[in-house]
Structure 1
Amino acid sequence: MKKTFLSTLLVCAGFFGSQAQQVDFEEYDLPNGLHVILHEDKTAPVVITSVMYHVGAKNENPERTGFAHFFEHLLFEGTKNIERGKWFEIVSSQGGSNNANTTDDRTYYYEVFPSNNVELGLWMESERMYHPIINQIGVDTQNEVVKEEKRLRVDNQPYGNLLKAVKEKLFTNHPYRWATIGSMEHLDAATLQEFQDFNKKYYVPNNAALVVAGDIDKPKVKKMIEDYFGGIPKGAEVVQVDAKEQPITKQIDAKYYDPNIQLPMIVHAYRTPSMLEHDAYVLDMISTILSDGKSSRLYKKLVDDKKMALQVAAINLSQEDYGSYVTLAIPLNNTPLEDITREIDEEIVKLQTELISEREFEKLQNIYKNQFVTRNATVAGIANSLANYYTFYGDTDLINKELDIYKNITREEIREVAKKYLNPNQRLRLEYLPEKNQ
């Protein structure tokens, strides 16, 4: 009943939040370096407490991959004051929900509670930061959990190793070259001390942003934050990765064999700029033009008109240090992969040589306006956005300015950015194939 009630409140918060244009917030730093962001929204009695740590798979030792994702699980094990295995029980018994997720660049933990439990959420996140218990029992338990997740989501999932196959060819020096879930062999070989050292290095207040959003009383919440987080010692300075890749000047041809698929896939991947650069926004728009919906260029051409592909997509994977622009397609009726490559390239050449129509441009602007509203339609969505904008851009107010960036992109910029990055000599061409002799 409590979960149903909370879900209803979140829906209500989403409905009212979707009407808002400006996201108001307050931010400040504690002396220990913890960055605090507060967003007050009284439309529903719901509160989100969340912490984003600026640590992801790219921060790992190349011989110990998978640590960041492992900690996504490990830091739910228990703390000095939260008995092992009781974390989720405490949250659910108070009508709340929680989760976490990890990328190559950051790890994000959050709780959603009825607003009268904001203090509980803050206490639990402070416990995770200050008093985690990292022992062999917890490591062994979560090792099995992560292995099972890898079996289900990667090893036994059709096309489950697609991202791995792309990354290990597209990047040769930067740690984006390994999968976020990492290597089970590396996790098996790690010592308890290595896990404890990783925690001490990265899960510290000066490498984190705390966001409290929803139905809050800010003076009271500030006092709670000081009480629970103020005494946590500052960690050593965290120096982020600075690894560079040489430009790709000749098409990389590769094959990857997957025992879990029946149909091949053709993949084209281009290494593109960091999400911090303006061109990354333009590449977002290019991916929308090519494959967002059934009226998009690639879908209409390859799936509807020519019946050459079962599925097709163009995706701009923006990350902190580099991006990856990926087009992919699953052929239909035994269409040769080379033919699909040719058809996709033809559409990209059109973007490189012709301005998109005014009508298509207007549609594009409407799509991004709707996406912006949707992303910030719930308090939970706003909390996540605030944490992201601070952690990566150092500009929390980008939540109110990013839509203007998209609005100001021109048709000429779309043409020039496509011409700059999406060329055959700058890419990986990967044939993702059924395993031989299966």
Structure 2
Amino acid sequence: PPRPLRQRKLANGLQVVSLPTRGGATVSVQVWYRVGGKDDPAGRSGFAHLFEHMMFKKTRHMPSETFDRLTEDVGGLNNAFTAEDMTGYQNEVPSNHLERLLWAEAERMANLQVDQASFDSERKVVIEELRERVLADPYGRLFNALPQHGFERHPYRRPVIGSEADLNAATLDDVKRFHTTYYRPDNALLIVVGDFDAAQLDGWIDRYFGRLVTPAATIPRVTEREPARTQDSRVTIKAPNVPLPAVALVWKGPPASHADAPALEMAQALLSAGESSRLNEALVYRAQAAQAAGSSADLYADAGLFTAYAIAPAELDKVRTQLLTAALAGRQTPQGQAQAIGQAVLLHGDARAADRDLQRLQAVSAADVQAALQRWVLGSKRMTVQYSQGAGA
């Protein structure tokens, strides 16, 4: 049955989606901003992710790291993430702490205060994260380079984590400008899921978020459209500390809202989910041509990539069950339900798309999977990325 979602928009443009649930004593409060890696300024790759770290610093009325005190100290949790299309801030607390969390999220939306010392400190943290996840990992450079070679024009080409040179070039003025440009009510989605009184929630949202001012300046938007690949291409990447060579085959895919998205999700699971998947069976076990194999369908708001890499109806039903079970398991908590709503709004423009996605997944047939693979993979040009030991960057 459809979930009793409550949706409203404040006069300042803030979009609010709430879902009351019973039987639990916790509530999830999440604020998602329509800004991600694709919106990084020129020469500032990784900036949206760097800024995510800054949002835990001091505001006009809160000292740094207050969100840890408001969540972890009362038995809750907080987290944040930056993706290609969005940045999200996630909290889950006992329900009696809902009001103060709403106040705190409104406070950091409007009154973040960043100084040079905290900026320098967080930049070091992000650069260390880049070194650990990309440079130290034997295959980190490979996966970090796939968007760059998979896309030709769209800003999705730039990795969300950025580059050390661009991060070092960022300035305090860049941070302040970024906050003013993107962290505003009409660019945000507030999601509340859990045990709350609806009328009381609306009153608190009006009190703390309703008074925030929306700047007159328009929000810059990415308008670049990714063209179809016109010919097969190949690139070789050399890197230190590569124990075994790897190869990745990359095809351009549709945006997340495309009708083929569920079929491609099923195709990805058929190819690489689990030890008995097609790629593992063919490349790892039968041919013994790879130590590991996998695939991914990375579908974003504007475009996507389908990647296969190697280091029957009953089969379809098996992976369908796996995908549906995982999706439903993720929605057993207020935090998981809020996550699904955020993805639905920012990738599909509709909070109810999360429920429709499950229905679409249930309806995918073997013919749908074959047609999607024919359209986006077998009938399309690809980029081949070869990766091996050498004097790489």
Q: Give the structure-2-normalised TM-score.
A: 0.95
Matched with 1:267 is 248
Match of 2:326 in 1: 371
Alignment of 1:159-308 (within 5 A): 159-235=139-215, 236-308=217-289
Match of 1:147 in 2: 127
CA contact under 8 A between 1:77 and 1:87: conserved in structure 2? Answer: no
Shift of the alpha carbon at 1:180?
Answer: 0.4
Distance in 2 (CA, whole Å) between partners of 1:313 and 1:365 is 18
User: Partner letter of residue 195 of structure 2?
Assistant: D
Deviation at 1:435, TM superposition (A): 2.2
TM-superposed CA distance for 1:85, in Å, is 4.0
Say whether the 8 Å CA contact 1:153–1:160 is kept in structure 2: yes
**Residues 62, 189 of structure 1: alpha-carbon distance in 2 compared, 3 angstrom cutoff:** same
Distance 1:84 1:326, change over 3 A: same
Contact 1:23 1:399 in 2 (8 A): no
SS of the residue aligned with 1:310?
Answer: coil
Q: Among residues 67, 81, 102, which one is paired with 1:101 in the alignment?
A: 81
- My pick for the range that moved more, 317-326 or 289-298, is 289-298
User: Residue 375 of structure 2 aligns with which residue?
Assistant: 420
Q: Secondary structure at the match of 2:327?
A: helix
Worse overlay, 224-233 or 249-258: 249-258
Q: CA RMSD in A?
A: 1.7
Match of 1:323 among 295, 304, 326: 304
- Following TM superposition, by how much is the alpha carbon of 1:401 offset from its aligned partner in structure 2, in angstroms? 1.6
Find the counterpart in structure 1 of residue 292 from structure 2: 311
Does structure 1 residue 431 correspond to structure 2 residue 381?
A: no
SS at match of 1:325: strand
Shift of 1:322: 1.1
Gaps of 5+ in 2: none
How far did 1:172 drift?
Answer: 2.6
CA distance in structure 2 between the aligned counterparts of 1:250 and 1:60, rounded to whole angstroms: 29
- Partner residue of 1:75? 55
Could you tell me which amino acid in structure 2 is paired with residue 407 of structure 1?
Answer: Q
Deviation by residue 1:383-432 (Cα, 9 ceiling, x = unmatched): 01111211221211112221111222232222222111213861111111
Which of these residues, 334, 349, 370, is aligned with residue 394 of structure 1? Answer: 349
**Secondary structure at the residue paired with 1:51?**
strand
Residue 53, structure 1, aligned to residue 33, structure 2: yes
Query: Partner residue of 1:342?
Result: none
Residues 33, 187 of structure 2: 8 Å contact kept:
yes
| 1:110-137 C-alpha deviation (Å, 9 max, x unpaired) | 1111111111211111111011112222
Aligned AA for 1:369? L
State the Cα deviation string for residues 171-200 of structure 1 (Å, max 9, x = none): 232111111011232232233222111110
CA distance in 2, matches of 1:90, 1:286: 42
**CA distance in structure 2 between the aligned counterparts of 1:139 and 1:240, rounded to whole angstroms:** 26
- Structure index of larger Rg: 1
Rounded to whole Å, the distance in 2 between the matches of 1:388 and 1:424 is: 29
TM-score scaled by length of structure 1: 0.85
Counterpart Cα distance in 2 of 1:108 and 1:285: 26
Give distance in 2, aligned partners of 1:90 and 1:379.
Answer: 17
Give the corresponding residue for 1:36. 16
CA–CA separation in structure 2 for the residues paired with 1:422 and 1:109: 35
2:150–2:252 Cα contact (<8 Å) kept:
yes
Q: Which runs of 5+ in 1 are unaligned?
A: 1-20, 331-356
- The alpha-carbon deviation at position 81 of structure 1 amounts to 0.7
Q: Please state how far the C-alpha of 1:225 moved relative to its aligned partner.
A: 0.8
Deviates more, 1:295-304 or 1:109-118: 295-304
Percentage of pairs with the same residue: 30
Tell me how far 1:359 sits from its aligned partner: 1.9
Judging changes above 3 Å, is the alpha-carbon distance between structure 1 residues 435 and 203 closer, same or farther for their aligned structure 2 residues? same
How far apart are the structure 1 equivalents of 2:380 and 2:72? 53
> How far, CA to CA, are the matches of 2:324 and 2:110 in structure 1?
40
Match of 2:138 in 1: 158
